[in-house]
Amino acid sequence: MSKKDLVLEVLGEIDDPELMIDIVSLGLIYDVKIKGSDVFVEMTFTFPGCPFGPSLIEDVKDKILSTNEFRNVDVKITFEPPWTPDKIDPDIRAALNL
């Protein structure tokens, strides 16, 4: 398993508190870059004023660091492009009838 796959696997264990779907399947993770023991994650929220934003950022950092493969995690939040339900994994979108 590549380090990027490991990161995506552990991030897939974090559920969005409102939708109760993991943040990877929701399409909230836009990019993951790894350089040595440093991880850069670019992600978004379902909407800019998401009250769970700060806790999601901490969850992302904690999950990645818990692998003991990485020393530093930098999370950048972006709203470009804005998140839409179209970003949800197609199988989950179909199960939700979206």
Is 18 a domain residue? yes
The answer to whether residues 48 and 54 touch, using CB atoms and an 8 Å cutoff, is: no
CATH assignment at residue 72? 3.30.300.130
Split into its structural domains, the chain has a count of: 1
pLDDT, one tens digit per residue, over 6-29 is: 999 999 999 999 889 999 999 999
pLDDT, one tens digit per residue, over 83-93 is: 999 999 999 88
Is 57 a domain residue? yes
Q: Which domain holds residue 32?
A: 3-84
Mean pLDDT, range 75-90, rounded to an integer: 95
Instruction: Compute how many other C-beta atoms are within 10 angstroms of the C-beta atom of residue 38.
Output: 12
| pLDDT for residue 97 is more than 90 | no
Among the residue ranges 5-9, 56-60, 69-73, 90-94, the one predicted with the least confidence is 90-94
Could you write out the DSSP letters of every residue in 40-53? EEEE--SSTT-TTH
